[in-house]
Amino acid sequence: MNKELVDRFLKYVSFDTQSSEENEAECPSTQKQFELAKYLKQELEGLGLEDVEMDEHAYVYATLPSNLDAQQAAKVPTIGFIAHMDTSPDCSGADIRPRIIENYDGEDVILNKEKNIVTSVKLFPELKNHVGEDLIVTDGNTLLGADDKAGIAEIVTAMTYLQSHPEIKHGKIRVGFNPDEEIGAGAHLFDVEKFGCQWAYTMDGGEVGELEYENFNAAGAKVTINGCNVHPGYAKGKMVNACIVASEFAQMMPENERPEKTDGYEGFFHLTSMQATVEGATLSYIIRDHNRGMFEMRKQVLLDMAERLNDRYGQGTVIVSIKDQYYNMLSQLEDKPHITDIAKRAIEEACGFCTVVPIRGGTDGAQLSFRGLPCPNIFAGGLNFHGRHEFVPIQNMEKAMMTVVNICRLTAE
């Protein structure tokens, strides 16, 4: 067991860094994220990294200088590693009490006996993939925070590993830790120019060996329905009940293209909220698809449905506004295969295999890729994110840390 890596992770999860969707106008969205940022700044300075900085929005940056001679170093690209400090708003991140289960036996994991909180193998069969390994779990009252404090611990420990193994040659390495990824804002104020890398990797994936460089194209849609409310006793030919129209709109959506009925590369429409009275209604959707052409077609589906209902109930009854959120990073990476090839080889060396999987969601790396910093996503090793059943095998973290080391070496080579 890599005690330095584990101790570092356990220290990081002691900080409550939950972000908030209710305060997206500010960055960070919660002031408590500053506490971990300050700690990381001090830690990186203490470890001897250079250019250590924390900005006014709690973004932390640092440099591990190249150990090559000047002539060689000039030929090696500067690369970076990025992880986020915040934890999900979906579950409490306060007073996390982790526990290590050594040599996991493959049975149900009792998190909290008094409250009968159990991570069962039936509901979480991925546990079976980690029999004999050492698992860090919660006490059932909070999430764990492996998403993404495992990523931070792996990056920092990889830097100390390189410092203590000067025989491993590497170029200039930059590290960056950001707030508010869980609310989709982590990359918004990331200083790409200051970071100064030709490319980077986010350490924010899940299961061991996974590499992700395809993600959804994403949009949000708001459907506004304007009803006409009159006394129900005299409503014939006059009333337009926005509740009914909203229900019709929702029922018109393709039944088999919802999140609960799709996986892999299949896109979806997801109704996230609905409010309705006779006078007016609103429906909120998110639209997702890996294929850009299909993504554009999905947006048109909502506009066409609105037009059909307006033909029936009158123009202006249904109004759809759509805002793109992020795009598939593959379009920014497919002409730069060396970035993913290096990651694949590094993962294979650390794990014995590499599994390329599509992200059924977004990532800071997607936004950064479209801002000029190509940025695939590498596994950090945690599982069952955003809830009390989150856990991380220590062996996964060790392999992720060595993947970082391998990428640094392979880039120099």
Query: Any catalytic annotation for residue 43?
Result: no
Identity at 401, one-letter amino acid code: M
Copy the structure tokens of residue 352: 């014995």
Q: List the beta bridge partners of residue 282.
A: 224, 275
E-strand ranges in 57-163 read 60-64, 79-84, 99-101, 109-112, 117-119, 135-137
> Considering only CA atoms, which of 144, 39, 139 is closest in space to residue 386?
144
Q: Are 372 and 316 in contact (CB under 8 A)?
A: no
Q: Are 305 and 249 in contact (CB under 8 A)?
A: yes
**Largest interatomic CA distance in the chain:** 88
Q: Which of 154, 180, 181, 364 is catalytic?
A: 181
Copy the structure tokens of residue 130: 């980690």
Q: What angle do CA 14, 20, 26 make, to 5 degrees?
A: 110
Query: Any catalytic annotation for residue 95?
Result: no
- Report how far Cα 340 is from the mean position of its chain's Cα atoms: 18
Q: Which of 16, 86, 148, 390 is catalytic?
A: 86
Q: Are 350 and 410 in contact (CB under 8 A)?
A: no
Rounded Cα gap, residues 307 and 372, in angstroms: 38
Residue 264 to residues 206, 212, 349, Cα–Cα distance (Å):
15, 12, 26
Copy the structure tokens of residue 33: 């994220």
- Which residues have a catalytic role annotated? 86, 181
